[in-house]
Each structure stands twice: as structure tokens, then as C-alpha cells.
Amino acid sequence: MIIIENTLISENIVERKFVCDISKCKGECCVAGDAGAPLDENELSVLEDLYPFYKEYLTPEGIKAIDKHGFFVIDEDGEFLTPMVKKEKYCAYMYYDGDIAKCAIEKAFLEGKIKFKKPISCHLYPIRITTLKDVDALNYHDWDICQSACNLGEKLNVPVYKFLEEPLKRKYGEDWYKQLDEYQF
């Protein structure tokens, strides 16, 4: 375990290799799973406020799910999650670009319509954060749908934390990331 400021970082984040290979996985992380992606409390109003800017990219089923459930749901543990399209079991914020599942929020960001890229948990994937009192525990989420990303990461020799430099800096800042990058392993 690596400790930096108020974070506990699993060594897997440094040791494992990972580079998304969306052409092979087809964005399955937006489609598979039993629940939506975790949301930070400060993201809840952002999703609602920016809805007019990304709504046009959503599937009709995604719009219906948001109309029915709202911009987030709360699970049995009291955690905020993205709503899901239950029949097909995919994130309500997902759309298809050909046969690849992508994020409608991120599409609006990339087109310069909004300044919010996407929920931080999605941006940080395959890192999952568990908040324990005043400490964030960062762990690598090992999911078989990401095997092509692990293979590509091995081939290119890119550790998880290097692949996720942008979202880690977004979440914890430049100084925090520099400490992680300079950590003696």
C-alpha cells in the first residue's frame, strides 16, 4: 500500500499495465454490470445542469431512464450511481458510435459544449475509489472485459497510473500525482 496525503493506493495501480483498447472491448464497461457508475455528490447537480447539452446524444431508452429515475439513483448502501437502462442493462448516459459504447457527456465535452468531461469514476476506470472516513482507498478493479486493455498495456509497458494521469490529476491535483510518479517502488 502506498500512502500519499489522504489516499491509500494499491500497488496494483503502479505494477499492473493498462491501456484502453476500445476497438476490442467496444466500451463494454458502459454496458456490462449490475449497477451504474459511482458518482461524487458534487457531480449530481452538474449532470442535471448540463443535461440540455448532452441530451441529444443519448439513446431514447437512456432519456426514458433519466425521466423515470432522475439523473442518479441511490443504491442500498446510500451510494450515488448513474441510472441504468434496465431492460438492456447499460448506463443511461451511454450512446453507440457504430458498435462502440461511448459516453454522451464526454461527447458534448469533446465538441466544446461543456467543460465537464464525464463522472470522475468513469474517467478513472479501472481505478475504483472507496472512501473510508477521511481517506480514499484507490484500488485496481480487475474485470475480464478489460483483458485487451491489460494486454495492450503490457505490450506498451504503461502502468495503470500513467494511463490515468489526466483523471488522477483532475481528482487529486498535480502535486499529488507528482508524489505518486516519484514514489520509490
pLDDT at site 133: 87
- Higher-confidence residue of 23 and 109: namely 109
- Cβ atoms of residues 26 and 99 within 8 Å: yes
- For residues 61 and 82, what is the distance between their CA atoms, to the nearest angstrom? 14
| Strand pairing category for 7-9 and 90-91 | unpaired
- Cβ atoms of residues 116 and 61 within 8 Å: no
To the nearest 10°, report the CA torsion of 90, 92, 96, 101: -50
Classify 38 as helix, strand or coil.
Answer: strand
Query: pTM of the entire structure?
Result: 0.88
pLDDT at site 87: 64
- For residues 148 and 173, what is the distance between their CA atoms, to the nearest angstrom? 29
Is the pLDDT score of 147 beyond 90? no
Q: Kindly report, residue by residue over 13-35, the tens digit of the pLDDT.
A: 999 999 998 888 877 777 777 78
Chain centre distance of CA 152: 19
Residue with cell 498535480: 174
Give me the residue spans of the domains in the chain.
Answer: 1-18+126-185, 29-115
Q: Kindly report, residue by residue over 55-90, the tens digit of the pLDDT.
A: 999 999 999 999 999 999 999 888 999 999 976 688
pLDDT at site 24: 85
